[in-house]
Structure 1
Amino acid sequence: MKPLKATVAAATAVVLALTAAACGSDDGGGAGDGGDKITVGIKFDQPGLGLKTPDGKYTGFDIDVATYVAKELGFEPGDIEWKEAKSADRETLLQRGDVDFIAATYSINDERAKKVDFAGPYLLAHQDVLVRADDNSIKRPEDLNNKKLCSVTGSTSAQNVKDRIAPKAQLQEYGGYSECLTGLENRAVDALTTDDSILAGYAAQPEHQGKFKLGGFKLSNENYGIGVQKGSDLKNRINTALEKMVSDGSWDEAVKKNFGPANYKNEPAPKIGNIVK
Structure 2
Amino acid sequence: MQAGLVRKTAALFLALALTGCTAAATASQKKTIVVGVKSDQPGLGLLENGAHRGFEVDAGTYIARRLGATRVTFKTVTSEDRERLLAAGTVDLVLASYSITAERSTKVTFGGPYYVAHQDIMVRKDEQGIRSVRDLAGRRMCQASGSVSSQRVTSGLGIATRLVPSPSYSECFKKLLADEVDAVSTGDLVLAGFATRARDRVRITNTPFTDERYGVGLRKGDIEGCEGVNKAITQMYQDGTAAHLLDKWFGASGLRLTTSVPEFEGCS
Normalised TM-score (structure 1): 0.76
Shift of 1:240: 1.2
Deviation for aligned residue 1:104: 1.5
Unaligned ranges ≥5, structure 2? 1-19
Post-superposition Cα deviations, 1:150-182, rounded to whole Å, max 9, x if no partner, equal 233565433543455574533333343333323
Q: For residues 47 and 239 of structure 1, what CA distance do their matches in structure 2 show? A: 25
Q: Give the 3 Å change call, closer, same or farther, for CA 224–157 of structure 1 in structure 2.
A: closer
- Counterpart selection for 1:263 from 251, 254, 260: 254
Q: In 2 relative to 1, CA 218–236 (structure 1 residues): closer, same or farther, beyond 3 Å?
A: same
Q: Which structure has the bigger radius of gyration?
A: 1
What is the deviation of 1:249?
1.4
For the residues of structure 1 that align with 2:156 and 2:30, how far apart are their CA atoms? 49
Query: Pairwise mapping of residues 1-277 of structure 1 onto structure 2 (< 5 A)?
Result: 31-33=27-29, 35=31, 37-53=32-48, 55-75=49-69, 79-153=71-145, 155-163=147-155, 165=157, 167=159, 169-205=161-197, 208-229=198-219, 230-274=221-265
* CA deviation after TM superposition for structure 1 residue 105, in Å: 1.4
Distance 2:227 2:57 in 1: 20
Paired with 2:41 and 2:149, the residues of 1 have a C-alpha distance of 16
Q: Deviations over 1:2-40 (max 9, x none)?
A: xxxxxxxxxxxxxxxxxxxxxx9xx89x853353x2211
Other structure's SS at 1:82 match: strand
Shift of 1:89: 2.3
Q: CA deviation at 1:268?
A: 4.5
> For 1:46 and 1:218, how far apart are their aligned partners in 2?
20
Kindly tell me: are residues 143 and 68 of structure 1, through their superposed partners in 2, closer, same or farther at Cα, counting changes over 3 Å?
same
Residue 201 of structure 1 aligns to which amino acid in structure 2? G
Moved more, 127-136 or 243-252: 127-136
TM-score under structure 2 normalisation? 0.78
Contact preservation (8 Å) 1:122, 1:269: no
Change (3 A) 1:215 1:227: same
Q: Retained in 1: the 8 A contact 2:144–2:172?
A: yes
CA RMSD of aligned residues (A): 2.8
Q: Identity of counterpart residues, as a percentage?
A: 36
Question: How many equivalent pairs are there?
Answer: 244
Deviates more, 1:164-173 or 1:215-224: 164-173
